[in-house]
Structure 1
């Protein structure tokens, strides 16, 4: 069971919103209207941990260990939304998200294979680690820069927690888990091919609500994320390479397989697919 260990690790690293954020260092001259608007959009995006948690609990009813870990992940992710809203409340109160704006990103996600969802969110944490690190460097206002550093470090720790559950899944399910992780890893590491930043908040998750079934599509400014990345914090090719490299390095260690490029991961996924198919073919037919 991983939950007790992960709880202790995250509890030890947890920052305090009252004492660890340098609120008194605020410099109004270094916060533009444009920057304040991005903080509002980011706060609403972080609020979407609520429907994600509901999805995880629904789709992992047979895994009480992972479901218990969700209590810590959910707390820390909602704290991210809260600290961004607290920043706005103190320094730009007219931009604090309304309850209706927050509630708009709470909608049901379609059921999906739990192992693929686990890998999707691991990749999401790897990406957020770099997005927030980049945002911290872009902002010159010291308080929000410090907040983004805390958020980036949290997301890195969350990625490490998901990775431990992935190792556990491989011990339990072998190649079936490896294939699920390789499949989603290939998708999430192929951002250059997709032409857009791939993250759980901008993927379609409810066929019945399409096309308004991404978190980003339900924000007051649905185009915010792409604009934030391309023209504001300028999350360019070297930053993207850190994301892809992080996904590949972790999968390489997880699979004990050299995976330095997306092409190598693609070839390995095909090998896994063949192995899983052959294993399934060897299983005895179910007796009815």
Structure 2
């Protein structure tokens, strides 16, 4: 069981919103209305950890260890939303999200294979680590710079925790887990082929609500994310390369195979699928996909 170990590790690294955020260093002339608007959108986006947690608990009833870890992940992700809202409450109170705006991003996600979802969110944590690091560099106001730095470090730790559960899954399910992880890893590392940012909050998750079934589509400003990345924090090719590199390096370690390019990952994926076909393995059980 990983939960006790992860609890101890993350407890040691946890920051305190009252004591570890330098609220008294705020410099109002370094925060524009445009920047404050982006903070509001991120606060609402982070609130979507609520429906994501509901999804994880529903689809992982077979796995009490991972479900227990959700208590940590959910707490820390909701704190991200809370600290951003606290920043606005103190310095831009007119932009604090309303309860209705927060509730709008809480909706049911369609059931999905748990291991593919695990890999999707691992990649999401890798991406958020870099998004928030870039955001911290873009902002010039000291308090929000510090907040985004804390958020980035949290997301990196969450990615590390997900990776431990991926290693556990490979030990239990072997090539079936490798196939699931390689499939989603290939999708999420192929960012250059996509016309939109590849992150769980920007993917369709409820067929009956399509096209209004992404987190971003339910924000007060549905076009905010792409504009934030391209026109505001300028998350360019160099930053994107850090995301792709992070995914490939972690998969190399996970699979114990050098994977330096997306092409190499695709070759590996095809080999794993061939191995499964040769072995005559059927579909992975719902509780193990």
TM-score, scaled to structure 1: 0.97
- Give the number of equivalent residue pairs: 283
| Residue number in structure 2 paired with 1:203 | 203
Flag structure 2 segments of 5+ consecutive residues without an equivalent: 284-289
Counterpart position of 1:164: 164
Distance in structure 1 (CA, Å) of the matches to 2:68 and 2:180: 23
1:219 corresponds to: 219
Query: What is the CA RMSD across the aligned residues, in angstroms?
Result: 1.0
Q: Tell me what 2:149 maps to.
A: 149
Tell me how far 1:4 sits from its aligned partner: 0.1
Ranges of 4+ aligned residues in structure 1 off by more than 3 Å: none
- Where do residues 128-143 of structure 1 align in structure 2 (5 Å cutoff)? 128-143=128-143
What is residue 104 of structure 1 aligned with on the other side?
A: 104
Whether 1:35 and 2:25 are equivalent positions in the alignment is no
- Deviation, structure 1 residue 280: 2.5
Provide the residue aligned with 2:286 in structure 1. Answer: none
Relative contact order, higher structure (CA 8 A, sep 6+):
2
Correspondences of 1:1-288 after superposition (within 5 Å): 1-280=1-280
Residue 205 of structure 1 aligns to a residue whose secondary structure is coil
**Unaligned 5+ runs, structure 1:** 284-288
Q: How far 1:197 sits from its partner (Å)?
A: 1.1
Give 1:194 shift.
1.0
Q: State how far apart, in whole Å, the 2-side matches of 1:3 and 1:172 are.
A: 17
* Structure 1 residues 28 and 281: alpha-carbon distance in aligned structure 2, compared to 1, 3 A threshold: closer
SS of residue in 2 equivalent to 1:234: coil
Distance in 2, matches of 1:17 and 1:196, equals 33
Return closer, same or farther for 1:121/1:257 CA change in 2, 3 Å cut-off. same
Q: Measure how far apart 1:282 and its partner are.
A: 9.1
**Matches of 1:184 and 1:67, distance apart in 2:** 21
TM-score with structure 2 setting the length: 0.97
